[in-house]
Amino acid sequence: MSSNSYDRDHRYCYCGERSVIRTSWTSENPGRRFRSCIEYEGEGNPECDFFSWVDPPMCRRSTEIIPGLLRKSNVLRAENEELREENIRLVECKKLELEMSDWQRELKSAKMIPRLLQNQMSCMLRLKNCERKILDWLNARRSWS
């Protein structure tokens, strides 16, 4: 990758295959694109050592600044991913809190059912008692006549 060749027109490598564009992440050429054989694995292909820069050389200042910017970008990207995951967890917790609140309301309603049934039963007993008294009164009146 330290070659000084700079050519945008090499579409095919020495072995006749279509060359591919890759990106260098070395400290000397951070982010600089180059063409290579599809078989290139960093040290080159012993059968085809085709290599050609796509981008022009960078100035010294760029090679000093870009690695630091890339590190900062990676840190920010990682922090952003952590925040995204935390946000997903918080949303899930909020959903669970709302679901729990709904269940608590249903439980309160369910706890009221026995009391309502007891009140209804009490009313029915009083009504039955009233009916008995009315029937007793009617029967007593008939016997007087």
Calculate the CA dihedral of residues 57, 60, 66, 71 and round it to 10 degrees. 130
Q: Give residue 55's pLDDT.
A: 93
Under-50 pLDDT residues of the chain: 1-4
Give residue-wise pLDDT tens across range 83-103: 999 999 999 999 999 999 888
The rounded distance, in Å, linking the Cα atoms of 3 and 7 is 11
Mean pLDDT of the chain: 85
Could you tell me the pTM of the whole model?
0.49
Q: How deeply is 24 buried, as exposed, middle or buried, from its count of CB atoms within 10 A (0-12, 13-18, 19+)?
A: middle
